[in-house]
Structure 1
Amino acid sequence: MAKAQKPTINDVARLSGVSKKTVSRVINKSPLLNQATREKVEAVIAQLDYVPNPQARALALRRNFLIGLIHDNPNAQMVLNVQEGILDTIRATEFALVVRPVDRHSPTLLDDIRHFIEQQRLYGVMLLPPLSENDELARLCRDLGCTVVRMGSARLDDEAHLVASNDQEAVCEAVEWLAHLGHHRIGFVAGPEGFRSARERELGFIAGMGRAGLTIDPALLTRGNYRFESGKAAGEALLDAENPPSAIFASNDVMAAGVLHAACARGLRVPQDLSIIGFDDTAIAAHIWPPLTTVRWPIRAMARTAALKLIRPETAAREPAFFPSDLVRRASAIEYSGDPTG
């Protein structure tokens, strides 16, 4: 028995009564079509169960069906969560993911990324912070005909090319909650300079202390680089203060784990002697002991939407650009039981 031949683009064109070029435009989501023609061709495609050839489509578009994830971010868990979010969206599509770490301080950064985009013939690019804050880089992607979506902690672009969180407001609310628990001396571990997320979270800390009517002690402010060792060093510095804090807010979970390590090494009990809050709600937050109170950064949901904006912009127009963070209360932060003036 002869095997039935698969329908071709010529079959779709013949039954639709349009040219092959018109069918191609429908497949490639071209805006240069009226709705009636689009719907007629799509109905025939569905009737024939026609599946476009991805290689032919890529050739016609002069693009491969590749999404590039470009980052210079020391937080490996954050990058992994972004990858998983993108894969959630492109799974069961013809798209694939290519990950490219770069050095944002390199004098050849723009040339390197230009070469990467041109060599891979990328369909779209997702930029992670702090690279996403580089307007010149975003323009380069667009100049190369490559759709770009930028992830950030504040508004960086128009909503069609942006997914962002409300880091400043979320941290402010977390600090107010610590104050409500009776903590007056609150230490803060900032993220690395040059990261908009670090700055937004720092501004949130300042705002939260102000709303709670608390004075910021410069001796209780320190900085890390989003890595565990820097959080450990920051925790040691804060706990060495003449009048140490009863609570510490770290700008990501990995640094918060470092603070926890520093506290436990000194024989301090968390949360009885020291409350700790992180930011991200990555896997480490629930896996360390005690489980970490943290601000949930909806990174996977943001990445899913970013990928949708790259591959299905007409669908993504209904998706949000801004994703609120919320406080996840676990065992690492409790009401302060010491001297309320201390």
Structure 2
Amino acid sequence: MPKEPKPTINDVARLSGVSKKTVSRVINKSPLLNEATRKKVEAVIAELGYVPNPQARALALRRNFLIGLIHDNPNAQMVLGVQEGILETIRDTEFALVVRPVDRHSPALLDDIRHFIEQQRLFGVMLLPPISENDELADMCRALGCTVVRMGSAALDKSEHLVASNDRQAVADAVYWLSELGHKRIGFIAGPEGFRSARERELGFADGMARAGLPLDPAIMARGTYRFESGQAAGDKLLAATPRPTAIFSSNDEMAAGFLHRALGQGIRVPQDLSIIGFDNTATAAHIWPPLTTVQWPIKAMARAAASKLIDPADAASQPSIFLSDLIRRASAATCAGAHGTDAPAPATQDGHGPAETQPLTPVTKSR
């Protein structure tokens, strides 16, 4: 007897009373479906014994079910956080992740990425900063028929192609909070030139200082590379300044950790003599001593949203594109000694050693 034909996606759609697109979203575990529709389609799939054929679908689409993560970023923990967020979203779907580090300074950058996309037949790509700021690269990905989502520290694209954080506002509020603790001499460690995130955080520092009525002093400002060693080098400069700063804002946790290493090596007590705030809320921030007060960069949430936009581009515009940061208060920041009529700093956490306190950042009212 001839074999019965295998059920198709058209059969599932017809018996479920939904479109093929909806069936595809159920198969791909799209978070945008309501639970009733999902259960109805899954029941029909189970009843028919329908098994999607990834190879056939990939052949029809002329694309593999691969998400490419393309980056040139010195912050390894940031890249790892993005990978984890993407993998959480594509788990139990047909999609897989391919990671491609590149050299943004290479004259062959566009050709190399073009070859990578064509060779892998990528379904979509996520571009991390700073290469996400390259409009020509984003346009090339789209011209190749590859869906693209760009991560940034400011709006770089339309919402369906963007996940961005509010770095400038977040830093401004954190710096102003230091001023409310009585700090008047606040130093700054900037990120590397050529990074939009570094620029946004630098602008945020200036905004926060202006809001507090405090001057910018180049003697207690340094530029780093987002790496631990550059935080140490910044410490050599800033800690030699006279008078020494009572607080430091670092544009990422790695540099803050390097600065802290230098300060403690000189016998400077943190936070009794010096308060330090970082940015990212990486594992480093919680593991060093004293635990680091830091601005939490919502990397995983951004990565999850980006992955959702990539695997379901039809509904990408309905996914969030702007993500707000929180201030994670730990033991590295305290009231400035001598401020408010006190001689000893008061911890800026519930206790100096307990769990971190997450404090939503309030909007900066200063006009930009």
5 Å matches for 1:224-239? 224-239=224-239
Separation of aligned partners in 1, 2:5 and 2:323: 43
Establish whether residue 77 from structure 1 lines up as the match of residue 82 from structure 2: no
Aligned amino acid, residue 226 of structure 1: Y
Structure 2 vs 1, CA of residues 6 and 295 (structure 1 numbering), >3 Å: closer, same or farther?
A: farther
Structure 2 vs 1, CA of residues 13 and 153 (structure 1 numbering), >3 Å: closer, same or farther?
A: closer
SS of alignment partner, residue 336 of structure 1: coil
Alignment-derived partner of residue 9 in structure 1: 8
User: How far 1:313 moved relative to its partner?
Assistant: 2.8
Separation of aligned partners in 2, 1:165 and 1:254: 19
5 Å matches for 1:195-234? 195-234=195-234
Separation of aligned partners in 1, 2:118 and 2:214: 53
Alignment-derived partner of residue 32 in structure 1: none
5 Å matches for 1:309-324? 309-324=309-324
Aligned amino acid, residue 203 of structure 2: L
SS of alignment partner, residue 285 of structure 1: helix
User: How far 1:47 moved relative to its partner?
Assistant: 4.4
Moved more, 310-319 or 121-130: 310-319
User: How far 1:320 moved relative to its partner?
Assistant: 1.1
SS of alignment partner, residue 231 of structure 2: helix
Separation of aligned partners in 1, 2:181 and 2:4: 70
Structure 2 vs 1, CA of residues 106 and 9 (structure 1 numbering), >3 Å: closer, same or farther?
A: same
Separation of aligned partners in 1, 2:182 and 2:147: 49
- Point out where structure 2 has 5 or more consecutive residues left out of the alignment: 26-36, 341-368
Structure 2 vs 1, CA of residues 92 and 76 (structure 1 numbering), >3 Å: closer, same or farther?
A: same
Structure 2 vs 1, CA of residues 305 and 5 (structure 1 numbering), >3 Å: closer, same or farther?
A: farther
User: How far 1:235 moved relative to its partner?
Assistant: 1.4
Q: Contact 1:238 / 1:245 at 8 angstroms: preserved in 2?
A: yes
SS of alignment partner, residue 245 of structure 1: coil
Establish whether residue 147 from structure 1 lines up as the match of residue 147 from structure 2: yes
Q: Contact 1:226 / 1:254 at 8 angstroms: preserved in 2?
A: yes
Separation of aligned partners in 1, 2:22 and 2:197: 40
Moved more, 96-105 or 238-247: 238-247
**CA deviations over 1:181-220 (Å, ceiling 9, x no partner):** 0101100000000000000000000000000000111111
5 Å matches for 1:252-291? 252-291=252-291
Q: Contact 2:149 / 2:306 at 8 angstroms: preserved in 1?
A: yes
Aligned amino acid, residue 190 of structure 1: A
SS of alignment partner, residue 317 of structure 1: helix
SS of alignment partner, residue 261 of structure 2: helix
Q: Contact 1:72 / 1:128 at 8 angstroms: preserved in 2?
A: yes
Q: Contact 1:12 / 1:45 at 8 angstroms: preserved in 2?
A: no
- Point out where structure 1 has 5 or more consecutive residues left out of the alignment: 17-21, 30-38
Query: So what's the TM-score if we normalise by structure 1?
Result: 0.89
Percent sequence identity is 71
5 Å matches for 1:1-342? 7-9=6-8, 12=11, 45=45, 47-338=47-338
Separation of aligned partners in 2, 1:14 and 1:80: 38
Separation of aligned partners in 2, 1:289 and 1:313: 44
Aligned amino acid, residue 334 of structure 2: I
SS of alignment partner, residue 318 of structure 2: coil
Moved more, 307-316 or 320-329: 307-316
Aligned amino acid, residue 198 of structure 1: A
Separation of aligned partners in 2, 1:274 and 1:117: 48
Separation of aligned partners in 1, 2:125 and 2:10: 34
Q: Contact 1:69 / 1:97 at 8 angstroms: preserved in 2?
A: yes
**CA deviations over 1:139-179 (Å, ceiling 9, x no partner):** 01000000000000000000000000000000000000000
Separation of aligned partners in 1, 2:9 and 2:89: 30
Query: So what's the TM-score if we normalise by structure 2?
Result: 0.83
Q: Contact 2:181 / 2:339 at 8 angstroms: preserved in 1?
A: no
Structure 2 vs 1, CA of residues 262 and 15 (structure 1 numbering), >3 Å: closer, same or farther?
A: closer
Q: Contact 2:190 / 2:201 at 8 angstroms: preserved in 1?
A: yes
Question: What is the number of residues matched between the two proteins?
Answer: 325
